[in-house]
Amino acid sequence: MPTLVVLPTYNEILNVGEMLRTLRAVVPEVDVLVVDDNSPDGTAALARELAEELGRIHVLARADKGGLGHAYRAGFAWGIAHGYDHFVEIDCDFSHDPKALPDLLDAASDHDVVIGSRYVPGGRIPNWTWSRRLLSRGGNIYASAMLGLGVADSTSGYRVYSRHALETIGFSSVRAEGYGFQIEMTHRARRGGLRVAEVPISFSDRERGESKMSFGIVVEALGLVTLWALERPLRLLRRSR
């Protein structure tokens, strides 16, 4: 199954080289698309150098910093246009261990969406504070309960989508960014009747570079979940008529 790893970057020059080399070593059969949001630190230039050295690496350089969801939408569109069947989401900062990717790809052979989950048996977050665990776990419980997701980790950004899943979800019209993007993709996958699996992963905080997480991303996600939950009864009412 032709597979594309979509790797969003912004000021990841401290991580992108090692990430690309690790991906090539762990999953040599996949291609990689670096979607760079005009990083001023030279991330895209380094990625292009490594593309020549390692092969099967492409760079999509964008003019502005558009956010995580926007980067994934652009990467998915590029991949579909170039004939790929499966698409991987992964962070460039090694919070997602590339060595777990073969397990996710194995599960993708008979599922439409595979989520690398911190909150199923075997999942781990070894170095988080209790307050951060509470915020993340509570947000996931809230999203699942409000939207009927039946997923333990709807905010996880380590995933594999089939081409069919992306087309069913209608990824190009997904509105959210950050955590909200992952929740909205999960919500649409469930609404579309797609087969969703969770595979346990270990999640670690970045060691190099600056985190892109912000309070605004959390607020956006919680606000959108509430909005979508309010829309559910209206949608069910329309179907019953």
Say which CATH number the domain at 146 has: 3.90.550.10
The pLDDT score that the predictor gives to residue 211 is 53
* Burial annotation 124-136 (CB, 10 A radius, 16+ → b, else e): ebeebeeeeeeeb
Task: Give yes or no for a contact between 34 and 44, defined as CB atoms under 8 angstroms apart.
Answer: yes
Domain hosting 28: range is 3-240
The pLDDT score that the predictor gives to residue 35 is 98
Residue 108 CA: distances (Å) to CA of 72, 102, 149, 179 = 19, 10, 19, 22
Q: How far apart are CA 1 and CA 30, in angstroms?
A: 9
Q: How far apart are CA 38 and CA 35, in angstroms?
A: 9
Which residue do the tokens 């993340």 mark? 136
**β-bridge partners, 175:** none
The pLDDT score that the predictor gives to residue 28 is 96
Instruction: Provide the domain count of the chain.
Output: 1
Q: How far apart are CA 139 and CA 99, in angstroms?
A: 27
- pLDDT in tens for each of the 241 residues of the chain? 899 999 999 999 999 999 999 999 999 999 999 999 999 999 999 999 999 999 999 999 998 777 899 999 999 999 999 999 999 999 999 999 999 999 999 999 999 999 999 999 999 998 888 888 888 888 899 889 989 999 999 999 999 999 999 999 999 999 888 778 999 999 999 999 999 999 999 998 756 555 545 556 566 666 777 776 776 555 554 555 5
Task: Give yes or no for a contact between 43 and 14, defined as CB atoms under 8 angstroms apart.
Answer: no
The DSSP line for 212-224 is: ---HHHHHHHHHH
Cβ contacts of 134 within 8 Å, gap of 6 or more: none
Q: How far apart are CA 87 and CA 83, in angstroms?
A: 11
Q: How far apart are CA 204 and CA 94, in angstroms?
A: 7
**What count of other Cβ atoms lies within 10 Å of the Cβ of residue 217?**
18
**β-bridge partners, 113:** 161, 196
